[in-house]
Amino acid sequence: MPTITLPGTVQETDEAIRVQTIPPYKVILLNDDVTTMDFVVYVLITIFNKNPATAVELMLETHNTGAAVVDVLPLEEAELRQQQTHTAARSAGFPLRCVIEPA
């Protein structure tokens, strides 16, 4: 069936409907010698919505290797979780940090 274009309308092309997606970002938790393991697990559960078993695994990976990717998110959400982590850590007196980078 032929395509009919009514006057005053725009015919969509493949190029016109192509949508650019925002690349995801990794949130990487960094190990330090001061922050307690319990607090790291708490942050992973409350800020990153991890279940307790996953939170413990990620905490141990961070502890043993120096860093761990704890989530992959859109940029704005990654920045929010990073800020929430830093704020919670400072409020509790810990130097816990996380960084974000393109996935």
Q: Is the pLDDT of residue 102 over 90?
A: yes
Band of the pLDDT at 5, cuts 50, 70, 90? low
**pLDDT value of residue 10:** 56
9 Cβ contact list (under 8 Å, min separation 6): none
Locate the domains of the chain by residue range: 17-102
**pLDDT value of residue 75:** 96
For the entire predicted model, the pTM comes to 0.79
**pLDDT value of residue 21:** 77
Q: Is the pLDDT of residue 19 over 80?
A: no
Three-state SS for 69-100 is: EEEEECHHHHHHHHHHHHHHHHHHCCCCEEEE
Tens of pLDDT, residue by residue over 33-78, are 999 999 999 999 999 999 999 999 999 999 999 999 999 999 999 9
Residue 29 to residue 54: CA distance in whole angstroms: 14
Q: What CATH architecture applies to the domain 17-102? A: 2-Layer Sandwich (3.30)
Report the share of the chain in percent with pLDDT over 90: 78
